[in-house]
A and B are shown apart, each in its own frame.
Chain A
Amino acid sequence: MLDLTEGQFVKHVIMHPFEGFEDLRWKKKGSMKIAWVIVFLLFFQQIAYSRLYGFQYYSDYDKIFNIVPYIFRSFILFLVWVVANWAMCTLFAGEGTMKKIFIYSAYALVPYIAGYLIGTLLSHVLIKDEYIFIQLFEILGLCWSFVLVISAMKAVHQFTFGKTIALILLTILAMIAILFLLVLVLTLFQQVLIFVLSIYTELSYRFRV
């Protein structure tokens, strides 16, 4: 039963939202490599969505290209999700390890990425009146991924449904806290840097005269 390779398991998990992740857990066929590929795809999907979308719908301010927001929306958000989820699951006595959470969450994102990529492709073929078809794919992908995330979290931690929902909500809160602290740390370091730089400037003026 279920003698699938790691690659085939991705398809199995996506096509079986309710048992797929349990099977994955049972067979221990999660792959970190595939998970990273999916996160990179998420990154490219974010760029494609704002840069390669059909012009009749939307186009971004094209005088500058800043990659930082895309990195934030893909890598940083995903990693913060993984860390926050792991932190929360230890409080709830969940079974997941950081690696497993990473893999399962990444697998759950595939329909979302695919839906939006299909939407981006279709936006070059359809006109404004037919936007509903694009929306269909995008919403479908989003909802599917949502179901998969719940299923993945349920499987990875061996929680009941209610506990999973509570965990997800708490994870989101924890993410906000982590991001807030990150911003705080960054600004603090910035202040320190400015302080050091101004001391350097003052000293350099003193010695020049």
Chain B
Amino acid sequence: MPSLKKLISYLSAAVMTVTVCATSVSASEAYNPYSYDRWGDPISSQVGYTADYFVSGDDIGCGALNEPADLFVSHDNLMYIADRGNNRIVVTDLDFKLVRIIDKFTYNGEETTLKKPTGVYVDPYTDFIYIADNENERVIKCDVNGNIDRLFGKPDSELYGTELTYNPSKVIVDKAENVYVVVKSVTKGAVMFDKDGKFLGFYGANRVEQTAEVLSNAFWNLISTEEQRARTAKSTPIGFTNFDIDDKGFIYTVTESTETTTDLVKKLNPEGNNILDSLGIDNEFQFGDKSPTYYSIYAKNSSLTDIDIGPNGELNILDFQHGRIFQYDKEAWLLFIMGGSGEQLGTFRSAAAIESYDNHLYVLDSRKNSITVFTRTAFGEIVTEASNLYNDGKYDESYEPWQAVLKYDGNYRRAYVGIGNALFNRGEYKEAMKYFKISISRGRYNKAFEGYRDQWLKQNFTLIVIVIVVLIVAYAVTKKILKKRKQNSSGKGGA
């Protein structure tokens, strides 16, 4: 009996060491890193960015931050923090040493201050700082010393509507110095001004999601009178929450909505049309989590609150609901998912803004009042290299990096597509078909199959002709023989 006890204790000790080792391997992150496999099911994966450290206001040396709302990394490598609760803009360098605090402004000789600033942007061409001064109902354009160049107040236009409030929450500026302002009460898109402060209209509205209610409303509107129509609820789209502009002038928007799935992430051309639709074959445009996460009985969908365009055109999207960062490459393929909700490093309570610089991601938490710095891992480096080569059309060069990615994570679907495309470009259709099949990309598989079929037909053309000829001859001969036999037998029967 004691020997059995001993055995059990040994076994349990062994099991414990194994589990401890197993957890210590993945314990580098405070959450379970995952990705989506070829069927869209979540599957354990590796992170592309790992949380290095976090910075509070005291670390910067400007006093504690109070509900900071926005983060911006400027072209001259300075970080601007919109410190909403303290009514100021904190400027640091990328090592988080304080450069200056902007909280006093002069406009036409008069002193003025901010009231709950929620957005900040620095124009790389003119060096002007744009601040969404939320509760003062204006956008400020000023220089680093706080000298205001221009104010963008509520548009005095019938198009805007007098009953609508004007509380700017985010602001960006394009190359022509047109100013785009996200106002939460406006659902028609961003409010757009030219550089002289003239109201130009709205830019890039979301579409209304086609629900059964919307369709039935449209039907009743066809047959109802003008009066009845005025009484029915208007179907309005959900206004987008946040945006970013890339160096080519495309504006990317995100919509913080847990109910709809239409237009959650858009890439807008200057006309305001979404051009994410026109990306290549086999791309599915689903941003955020594919299925809701369950907290006991409550199912919660992603709620995308901020977007940032990285140096290689990658899309960093911040999910407020679960504190997750989703990184997509510029073709909208999922690269990594990082973060989670919680108190540990790398998780968030109320993720508010995301910025990127080089191989770092900066995430602002407005309840922890801190900035978490993520640094790209070795896995992240190799994926980024591979996807950059791939997106530049250098499929062949991306073959080796993609193979290396598979050594890190054999479930990484994107790598199979990349290898498949490299093989396809080399004309190794049969191998390419294998990889496209693994990654379930039917469109690409179809093309590879077409190539393989042509190849096969060309190689075996003579063989096919011979087989056909032989078959025809064999058919004719057997028919003749059968006929003869029948004649013979019937002849015998007759005799």
Contacts and interface: CB of A to CB of B under 8 A. Distances in A.
A198 to B, nearest CB: 23
A127 B453 contact: yes
B446 A56 contact: yes
Nearest to A61: B39
20 contacts: A55-B437, A55-B442, A55-B445, A55-B449, A56-B442, A56-B445, A56-B446, A56-B449, A57-B442, A59-B440, A61-B39, A63-B39, A63-B41, A125-B453, A127-B446, A127-B449, A127-B450, A127-B453, A128-B443, A128-B446
Interface of A: 55-57, 59, 61, 63, 125, 127-128
A127 B449 CA distance: 7
Interface in B447-495: 449-450, 453
A54 to B, nearest CB: 8
A59 B437 CA distance: 10
Contacts of B443: 128
Nearest to A124: B449
A63 B37 CA distance: 12
Which secondary structure characterizes the binding site on chain A?
loop
Nearest to B447: A127
Interface in B365-394: none
Contacts of B440: 59
Residue among B41, B437, B442, B443 with the highest chain A CB neighbour number at 10 A: B442
Contacts of A56: 442, 445-446, 449
Contacts of B445: 55-56
Contacts of A61: 39
A127 B452 CA distance: 11
Which 8 A-B pairs have CB atoms at the shortest separation, nearest pair first? Answer: A56-B446, A127-B450, A128-B446, A56-B445, A55-B437, A127-B446, A56-B442, A55-B445
Contacts of B39: 61, 63
A125 B446 CA distance: 11
B223 to A, nearest CB: 33
Contacts of B437: 55
Given A56-B446, A127-B446, A127-B450, 15 more contacts: A55-B437, A55-B442, A55-B445, A55-B449, A56-B442, A56-B445, A56-B449, A57-B442, A59-B440, A61-B39, A63-B39, A125-B453, A127-B453, A128-B443, A128-B446
Interface string B41-56: 1000000000000000
A127 B456 CA distance: 14
A63 B446 CA distance: 22
B357 to A, nearest CB: 40
Contacts of A55: 437, 442, 445, 449
A192 to B, nearest CB: 28
A201 to B, nearest CB: 24
A123 to B, nearest CB: 11
Contacts of B41: 63
Contacts of B442: 55-57
B461 to A, nearest CB: 16
